[in-house]
Amino acid sequence: MDFTLDEEQKEIRDWVRTFVRKEIIPLEPEVLRRERANQPGLPAEELEALQQKAKKAGFWGLLTPTEYGGMGLGAVMTALIEAELGRSFVQFRFGGYADNILFHGNAEQKERYLLPTISGERKSCFAITEPGAGSDAKAIRTSARKEGNEWVINGEKTFITGGNEADFVMVFAVTDKEKGANGGVTCFLVDRDMGWKSEPIPTMGQWGPAALVFDNVRVPEENVLGEIGHGFTLAMQWIGAGRYMLPARAIGSVERLVEMAIEQANTRVTFGQPIAEYQAIQWMIADSAVEIEALRWLVLHAAWLVDQGQDSRQAQSMAKLYGGVKANEIVDRVLQIHGGMGYTRELPIERWYRELRLLRIYEGTDEIQRRTIARNLLKGHAKVSGSLG
């Protein structure tokens, strides 16, 4: 048993922590000002400049294999890095990333889609969710029918992260209605200039997804990713690969929020003493610290299982569920400790409050995670505490 990080892990984590402190956090006031003026908080060119700066220090393609110029880091290291990035609400991410399923493409697809995505020349988005198919992803109705050497795609996708900026989409469509999700869904790589349209969806947070419309979009047959009919497996692979990353990022957010709460508690004076001296305030801080610690180990345990090549689905669902629930409870306490100021736009807490709410919804709602966890136990796919000893 060893809960410690090795020297290399600490070194990488510390570098990212310093990068966030020196390069990202100072941008926050300006990012906040822009967002509140309905402009992009971190415009693409500024994000790219930061990514290039990080690249010079070797931070490029955290999960991208080294033969593609990436760092080929493991899941534990990636989780630790995400937690550091989560310390700022500025939506920074390191460059050199590409969706895991793009690595399944053939040589030509890799040339046209994977490599330019890694280099940042092209931007991808992943489209499975539809107005009538969210948690129940198997209910998708977007269809693709074969006409000669082409597929013709019709349908609507919604809540597509990156859909407004992407220049190609990995879209999932039904190619065999009889088989449905069991062998009747196929994934297509579709360039924007093939004719699909996107429309931004305003949300309560800064996450700005898109609705996509496919109206007789013609796609050459060589743009099928993987095999015809195997799309649903790819989709699950995409969703399952990084479920631990969302709660990992939340660790950093709630750590920073609780640090703000501690600072506020020690400086804000009421009835002649700092509010930190009131037990009610200390309880909120203590509860938050305990839950952050529990979250940290649930996330790192899930990531560790990924690195071991063991079945991590149960642990990832646990980490995602717990992270979503607890991050929301913690940001609420932190807002409470800040009182009226926490409710204003003077501070970024309300922004975080809105943003963290999403964590309980996307990439598997709380309810879907609970269903997965309970089913795994009841069907014997996971034993009680089976992956712990």
Partner 1 sequence: MDLRLSDEHQQLKELAHRFTEERIVPFAMRWDRDEAIDRALVPRLGEVGFLGLGIDEEYGGSGGDNLAYCLVLEEIARGDSAVRGIISVSLGLVGKTIFKHGTEEQRKQWLPGICAGTQLGCFGLTEPETGSDAGSLATKAERDGDDWLLTGRKVFITNGTWADVALVFARTGGPGPKGITAFLVPTDSDGFQATEIHGKLGMRGQATAELVLDRVRVPDSARLGEEGTGFKLAMAALDRGRMSVAAGCVGAARGALEASLKYAKEREQFGKPIAGFQLVQELLADMAVETDAARLLTWRVADLADRGEPFRTEASMAKLYASEAAVRVANNAIQVFGGYGYIDEYPVGKFLRDTRVTTLYEGTTQIQKLLIGRALTGVNAF
Q: Which residues are catalytic?
A: 363
Residue 62 contacts by C-beta under 8 Å, 6 or more apart in sequence? 70, 71, 73, 77, 78, 81, 94, 96, 97
Distance from C-alpha of 282 to C-alpha of 44, rounded to nearest angstrom = 41
- Pick between residue 301 and residue 338 the one whose CB is nearest to partner 1: 301
Q: Within 10 Å of residue 313's Cβ, how many Cβ atoms? A: 19
- Pick between residue 27 and residue 377 the one whose CB is nearest to partner 1: 377
Nearest approach, Cβ of residue 234 and partner 1 (Å): 27
For 16, 31, 41, 48, 71, the CA distances from 59, given in Å and listed in that order, are 9, 23, 22, 13, 7
CB 15 within 8 A of CB 64: no
CB 25 within 8 A of CB 88: yes
- Pick between residue 167 and residue 287 the one whose CB is nearest to partner 1: 287
Nearest approach, Cβ of residue 306 and partner 1 (Å): 12
Q: Within 10 Å of residue 388's Cβ, how many Cβ atoms? A: 9
- Pick between residue 217 and residue 257 the one whose CB is nearest to partner 1: 257
Nearest approach, Cβ of residue 270 and partner 1 (Å): 14
In the complex, the residues that contact partner 1 under the rule CB under 8 A are 1-6, 9, 76, 258, 262, 265-266, 274, 276-279, 281-283, 285-287, 289-291, 293-295, 297-298, 300-301, 304, 315, 318, 321-322, 367, 369-371, 373-375, 377-378, 384-385, 388-389
Which helix (H) or strand (E) segment is 85 a member of? helix 75-85
Nearest approach, Cβ of residue 133 and partner 1 (Å): 19
Structure tokens at 39: 């402009």
- Pick between residue 221 and residue 259 the one whose CB is nearest to partner 1: 259
CB 231 within 8 A of CB 172: yes
- Pick between residue 211 and residue 318 the one whose CB is nearest to partner 1: 318
Phi, psi of 229 (to 5 degrees): 90, -10
DSSP letter at 4 equals P
Nearest approach, Cβ of residue 266 and partner 1 (Å): 6
CB 317 within 8 A of CB 338: no
| DSSP string for 106-147 | -HHHIIIIIHHHHHTSS-EEEE--BTTBSS-GGG---EEEEE
CB 218 within 8 A of CB 151: yes
Strands (E) in 210-272, as ranges, are 210-220, 224-225, 269-270
Nearest to 336 by CA among 265, 256, 249, 269: 265
Nearest approach, Cβ of residue 337 and partner 1 (Å): 11
Nearest approach, Cβ of residue 237 and partner 1 (Å): 23
Q: Which residues of 128-142 are buried (b: 16+ CB within 10 A; e: fewer)?
A: bbbeebbeebeebeb
Residue 55 contacts by C-beta under 8 Å, 6 or more apart in sequence? 95, 96
- Pick between residue 149 and residue 385 the one whose CB is nearest to partner 1: 385
Nearest approach, Cβ of residue 218 and partner 1 (Å): 42
- Pick between residue 130 and residue 291 the one whose CB is nearest to partner 1: 291
Q: Which residues of 260-283 are buried (b: 16+ CB within 10 A; e: fewer)?
A: bbbebbeeeeeeeeebbeeeebee
